[in-house]
Chain A
Amino acid sequence: MRRERDVEQEEAALNDPILELREVSKVYSNEQLQVAALKSADLRIEEGEYAVIMGPSGSGKSTLLNILGCLDRISSGRYFLGGEDVSGLDDDALSAIRSRRIGFIFQSYNLIPQLNVLENIEVPLFYQNVSERQARIRATEIADRLGLGARLRHKPSELSGGQQQRVAIARSLVSSPLMILADEPTGNLDSATGDEILHVIDELNAEGKTIVMVTHDDEIAHRAHRIVRLKDGEIVSNELSEPSAGGRAKPVAGGTNR
């Protein structure tokens, strides 16, 4: 399995990477001053990779993640997502890309409080005009996989943090995106529940999903193939690492949650 993946990765490298930043800068400006949140960043992430972005607060992690997630526009440079230049796209086109190609997982789950579990998972499909019946089938399937089968009609407020994050993961998967962007997904969870969530993410990666995660936890970082370190808006290191054992071991998704 591992060997196969390595081969795949080499092949992918010959083709387009899943995302590529070329000298991307982001400058926030108002009347008084200009702040460069990201300075001439170059980054390639191949399909199936598990990349972690690290750095102290204010280093530009969030900016980078927002840019990768097409939530923010770059000031200069080029950004290719799945081989497509998305640097100059308008708001509608970026919305479509967010809907179809990117799955978001947030630190604070960001579920819509008045919708139940299934409805929350279906939200991205709503904006893709997927029929209600199909959306329901798809959402139920994914919720089952993540061990939420018994709580489909629950509101987020009736769920534990770990369960809410599982719902968010289900939602990020529902439209089969190119990559999943996770912003400190375990930041609000206790370590046991956090581990469960990390196992779920490991398993997704093992299935071939590309993961880009922001964290400041070195232990979490060691589960990844690639560690990108940022400081003062610059990428100071970008190294491949052998994932530590235990990280990507047995499948956990659908297992005990709590």
Chain B
Amino acid sequence: MNVVRFERAVRMGAKNLWQYKMRAGLTILGMVFGVSSVIAMLSVAEGAGREVQEQIRRLGSNNILISSQKLPQEQFSGGQSGGTSQIAAYGLTYEDANRLAVRVPYLVSSCPAKVIQQTVRFRDRQVETTLVATVPQYPEITNHRMLAGRFFTKTDMDKAAPVCVIGARLARTLFAAHDPIDQTIKLGNDEVYRVIGVMGDVYTAKSPELTNKPLWFVGENQDVYLPLISYFKRSGDLFMHRTEGSSTFEKVELHQLILTVDGEEHVMPAYAAARDTLRTYHKREDYQIVVPLELLEQSKATRRLFNIVLGAIAAISLIVGGIGIMNIMLATVSERTREIGIRRALGARQRDIVMQFLIETVILSITGGLIGLFGGALIPKIITLLTNVKTVLTPLSFVVAFGVSVAVGLVFGIYPARRAALMDPIEALRHE
């Protein structure tokens, strides 16, 4: 069938449908709701999925996070270094860090940290906060952004300099509108540290651009970062762990160790090596290994499942829409039996009749699909507006929805169209 004839057949079909606007409108309603719900659901799923992936990505997809974990059945029996029986000793040791640095393949960097709850004081202000005693690469590895001043350096580390970097929110709390840089704060048992920088939040694509405003107005970070050696020299490995009512001493050398490898493909072998190394030297599993990449994979698997469920619901609604169209087309065909007979007598081939009715069905389903696209683009916006749930419209979902609506038209149109074409022209002409 040539293009001109096809184009004329399309116009003829459209004109014909236009004469029964009400019926055509009701016929495509199923398609409209089907397609728009497909798009809406896809965008909600996409939004949720991206949120999770963003959170995981913040942990770093090339990283392996190892943290010390206090076991519930832990008895105050003293650790490997044999302290007093009132001290709970567990978790990662400096020795572990050294061993892992040697044994884990593809390692780019290893970032140890002590993470301790402490009070921080500036003059008469006092805030309960988290100390992170770590190494100079920490901001780079964890994707934190400096807002003012600088992070501590290797020199600070080597000299065990009493310097620290504070989170932006902590800076606001302690110093109000004053410049915190070069002020001194007191940590824990009156250890004095000089503030050399202000740190923001984990940097993400959504982070606001830096402006000319005082930088530490940005961000919710209220931690204190200091060189690991500076902290160790002044406070040691023992610290008080406060629980409700009582307090116990704990001895933990490292609370956290972030291993970074050179590429996502090397995360799993590095993880296996780290796990085996730790198993060899720890009788109990007083540590936890988290692989963000694996979380990412898990979330992808979850999303895939979610998409299959959504896809099934969508498929059902589109099939229902398609059956609605087929039903009306069958009625139309029997209503227009005589017209079919006339056209056949005047020279229409069977395939001309098939084309005529198939085109009408596809016009219906495409129109339904297009209206559904608009509805589908609108619904997620309303959802986001009303519920603050993140939604993301992907171009793919439009392509899929549109393609499916064309396919529905073809699949459900072929039967009525063939039925029309295979009628005996003589019978059809006699039809009242």
Contact = CB atoms under 8 A, between A and B. Distances in A.
A18 to B, nearest CB: 19
Interface residues of A, number: 28
Interface string B1-36: 010110010000000100100000000000000000
B350 A98 contact: no
B342 A95 contact: no
B346 A127 contact: yes
A129 interface: yes
28 contacts: A71-B425, A71-B426, A71-B429, A91-B349, A91-B350, A92-B350, A95-B344, A95-B348, A95-B349, A95-B350, A96-B349, A98-B346, A99-B346, A99-B348, A104-B345, A104-B346, A112-B339, A123-B342, A123-B343, A124-B347, A126-B8, A127-B343, A127-B347, A127-B348, A127-B352, A129-B5, A131-B4, A175-B347
Contacts of A124: 346-347
Given A66-B426, A72-B426, A106-B429, A98 B347 contact: yes
| Majority DSSP secondary structure for residues of B touching A | helix
Residue with the greatest number of chain A CB neighbours at <10 A, chosen from B8, B19, B345: B345
A127 B344 CA distance: 10
B338 interface: yes
Contacts of B346: 98-99, 104, 123-124, 127, 171
B269 to A, nearest CB: 66
Interface size class of B (residues with CB under 8 A): 20 to 34
Given A99-B347, A110-B342, 11 more contacts: A71-B425, A92-B351, A95-B344, A95-B347, A96-B349, A98-B344, A99-B346, A100-B347, A111-B342, A127-B348, A175-B347
Interface in A212-236: none
Interface string B125-164: 0000000000000000000000000000000000000000
A98 B342 CA distance: 11
A125 B345 CA distance: 13
A132 interface: yes
Contacts of B8: 126, 132
A60 interface: no
A34 interface: no
Interface in A82-105: 91-92, 95-96, 98-100, 104
A91 B425 CA distance: 11
B280 to A, nearest CB: 81
